[in-house]
Amino acid sequence: MESSIGRVAPLEAVLFDIDGTMCVSDPFHHRAFSELLLKVGYNDGVPITPEFGMKHMAGRSNGQIGDFLFPDWDKDKIDGFFREKEAMFAKYATEGLTEIAGLTRLCRWAEERGLKRAAVTNAPRANAALMISILGLSDFFQLIVTGEDCDRSKPFPDPYLSALTLLGASPDHTVIFEDSTIGVQAGVAAGMPVIAIADESREGKLIATGAALVIRDYRDAKLWAALDKLDAKADAAEINGVTQNGD
């Protein structure tokens, strides 16, 4: 696992998904979806479960979710549903969104090393910016790339490849943080190692999808062991470069 992450040394950039990767947002999405789906009579009024949301919605764009939920609706009706849903999500998130444990420490680690930084998400831009603001990371990220900015959203690699281009970073020296199979697919397709946030029940699926490492949160000892190895490899490469170029 760590060896595939180690190949990106010296690390140049870090790319983060937002929902479920940087923050605990699923409960707010679920609440908003549940209330609105009941309102429109979806599933004969039977409430959706969190498992349903994880299977059919997590990591997907609103367009992808809309096509799945409402195959017979026209675009205007779907767009109206999601405008209301995103407004509800924003309200609920403002009341209680929290970071994935240890995120602040990891962001500080990235800043100390001068790494390039971008958020890459299928969420609408307004709510992506809102979540980042609530987390106190508006100044941390140099840019936000959304699926709406690209011809194809995740699981296609386009959003991650766009972020690399905008940052001026190489996939050979960049690592991605994700939490969904959709996101891991996108990162792997873009040619970068993906570190995934997941509980034990989803770990096997994410590894099968291509995640280089699965951690519970950003306090995980496995993560810091991998990052320490990256630092060591970068230091060794710098020393060797000085030696080879010295007297």
DSSP H helices, 41-169, are 50-56, 62-69, 75-96, 103-112, 125-134, 158-167
User: Which residue among 17, 67, 76, 228 is the active-site one?
Assistant: 17
17 is catalytic: yes
19 is catalytic: yes
CA 150 – CA 100 distance, rounded (Å): 27
- Long-range CB pairs of 194-198, under 8 A, 24+ apart, other chains included: 195/5, 195/223, 195/226, 197/20, 197/21, 197/100
DSSP H helices, 97-199, are 103-112, 125-134, 158-167, 181-189
User: Which residue among 19, 79, 151, 220 is the active-site one?
Assistant: 19
Contact 170/164 with Cβ under 8 angstroms? yes
CA 190 – CA 149 distance, rounded (Å): 16
Sheet holding 174-178, edge to edge: 143-146, 116-121, 13-16, 174-178, 194-197, 213-215
Torsion, Cα 201 206 209 210, to 10 degrees, reads: -140
Mind telling me the catalytic residues? 17, 19
